[in-house]
Structure 1
Amino acid sequence: MSNVSKSVFDPKAFLAIAGAGRSTSNWNKGQVIFSQGDPADALFFIQEGKVKVTTLSTQGKEAVVAILGASDFFGEGCLAGQKLRISTLTAITDCTLSRVEKATVIRLLHDNPDFSALFMTYLLARNIRIEADLIDQLFNSSEKRLARLLLLLANFGQEGSPQPILASITQETLADMIGTTRSRVSFFLNKFRRLGFIEYNGHFTIHSSLLNVVLHDDPRAALSSQADNPDQSPE
């Protein structure tokens, strides 16, 4: 019996290989990768950098849906019959992205078990995250929603060390993502900084002590929290 262990599948290296239906390209900060309403014809993988997902309502209101980073996929709706993009993707840092055409993705899912397992694991994790986001929105105060978002953006609970949050992720963006006002976000950020949970030096540095805000009590109890009262005056 061979003692040679199977090498770990590396999606970055695998998807970086150019070929039929696959390409890798660089995008500058601020560039729109695709817009809401564009044809949904490919899957993207983030090799390096961060992108912002936004959606525009029929009334013209824009919502920030997510911030995605290295090793995340986006554009997977094309695999589920989505004909047009339902969101706009914009680079918020310089990015390196791999693009895989829909037909190529389908072939890879059938022919490459390693890629198929990786992609299914990613989709399940994304689904769990969406459910957690919904519970967070329904039951948690805006203070807890902000704390959780900062921890997620800083990579807490994932492989690797926590990362600084870029200055390009503005207070307006944070407010959009948790469904509150910029003034409330500013108030809570000042509170977190005063308590030593975060630092700001051109970017946010998040400390593990911020977990105390999220884990303090049962999220359903936060429904009665004054932190979500828009009439409450900042300290």
Structure 2
Amino acid sequence: MEQETAWEKQWMPQHLSSLGNEPWDAVWDRLTDGFCRETVPAGTVFYQQGDPADEVLYLQSGQVRVECVHSDGKKRVLYLLFDGIVVGEDECIYGGVREFRAVAASECRIFRIPAEVFKRRVEASPALALKLFQVSARKSQVLSRVLVRDSFLSVQGRVIQFLLSLAERNGVQEEEGIRLTIRLTHQEAADFLGISRVAVPQCFQTLAKAGLLRKREHCYILPDRAALEAQLE
């Protein structure tokens, strides 16, 4: 099986192997130059809602969950960020405090770049600015999908769309079907979808009975992606 091309490479115009004198693959190095890499465990809170936006994180490896926590304690996960992406750059660019919370969903290797240094380096590097535009566009795309999903799909439809979305970034094709490489609890799925925890296993059981979802050890498998997608039509 061919190795999947990173999403940022998929978006890159064919003629943009470099921009000016900057090789495309070295742009993040320009951002992190001079700063030390840290390794932090899962569960580390990078910033809370209302915190000052005083730094940007470059996520070299791992997963970071960006979420909103209501005053009543209810939580909604907005998106999951992966290797080779920045975290918390929006508020640093536009000013103001943090609107959401960022938490390490797995062990992460990160670089912390002070907000003022981040802005200066972006202003000095067209290639870096273009990469950040890609990141922003991708996040906007993800949030638009969430809005459409929540507005028009049933609870089961939202669960199906969520599983299909996970398969895009965390799916490995195997003989049995697409295996989701990310471990997922019912509560985590509920947080992503904004539904009750009890609704998740009910939907999973319905899909399992229809032969559209299996569980092997701690991983979920989508035996027939096309059939699962057909449930949304």
Q: Shorter-chain-normalised TM-score: which range?
A: 0.7 to 0.9
- Asked if 1:164 is matched to 2:177, the reply is no
CA distance in 2, matches of 1:190, 1:183: 11
1:204 and 2:219 correspond: yes
Higher strand share: 2
Q: How does 1:184-199 map to 2 (within 5 A)?
A: 184-199=199-214
Partner residue in 2 for 1:107:
120
Q: Is the 8 A contact 1:46 1:95 kept in 2?
A: yes
Q: Does 1:54 align with 2:67?
A: yes
Q: 1:198–1:206: 8 Å Cα contact kept in structure 2?
A: yes
Deviation, structure 1 residue 174: 0.7
Query: Is residue 76 of structure 2 the alignment partner of residue 63 of structure 1?
Result: yes
Residues 12 and 98 (structure 1 numbering): CA distance in 2 closer, same or farther, change over 3 Å?
farther
Relative to 1, partners in 2 of residues 1:202 and 1:31: Cα closer, same or farther, differing over 3 Å? farther
> Superposed, which structure 2 residues align to 1:68-217 within 5 Å?
68-156=81-169, 164-167=180-183, 169-207=184-222, 209-217=224-232
Alpha-carbon displacement from aligned partner over 1:80-125 (angstroms, at most 9, x marks no partner): 4342222222112111112222222222222212211111111112
Give the aligned residue type for 1:31.
T
Range with greater deviation from structure 2 (70-79 or 41-50) = 70-79
Gap change, CA 1:103 and 1:97, over 3 Å in 2? same
TM-aligned CA deviation for residue 135 of structure 1: 0.8
- 1:86 maps to a residue whose letter is E
Equivalent position of 1:42 in the other structure: 55
Distance 1:96 1:80 in 2: 23
Q: Distance in 1 between matches of 2:185 and 2:94?
A: 34
Give the Cα–Cα distance (whole angstroms) in 1 for the partners of residues 81 and 215 of structure 2: 21
Q: 1:155 aligns to what SS in structure 2?
A: helix
**Runs of 5+ unmatched residues, structure 2:** 1-16
The amino acid across from 2:227 in the alignment is N
**Cα distance per residue 1:163-212 (max 9 Å; x no partner):** 73433x32112112212222221022223334443332343344372353
Supply the distance in 2 between the matched residues of 1:96 and 1:16 (Cα, whole angstroms).
Answer: 15
SS of 1:128's partner is helix
- Give, in whole Å, the separation in 2 of the partners of 1:187 and 1:151: 18
DSSP 3-state at the match of 1:90: strand
Contact 1:198–1:210 (8 Å) recurs in 2: no
Scaled by the length of structure 1, the TM-score of the pair is: 0.75
Amino acid at match of 1:209: D
The SS at the match of 1:192 is: helix
The SS at the match of 2:198 is: helix
For the residue of structure 2 that corresponds to 1:200, the secondary structure is strand
Distance 1:125-1:138 versus aligned 2 partners, 3 A rule: same
Aligned-pair CA distance for 1:45: 2.3
Aligned residue pairs: how many? 210
Mark the CA change 1:88 to 1:25 in structure 2 (over 3 Å): closer, same or farther.
Answer: same
What are the ranges of 5 or more consecutive residues in structure 1 without an aligned counterpart?
219-235
Conserved? CA contact 2:150–2:158, under 8 Å: yes
Report the TM-score when normalising by structure 2. Answer: 0.76
Structure 1 residue 38: deviation in Å?
1.7
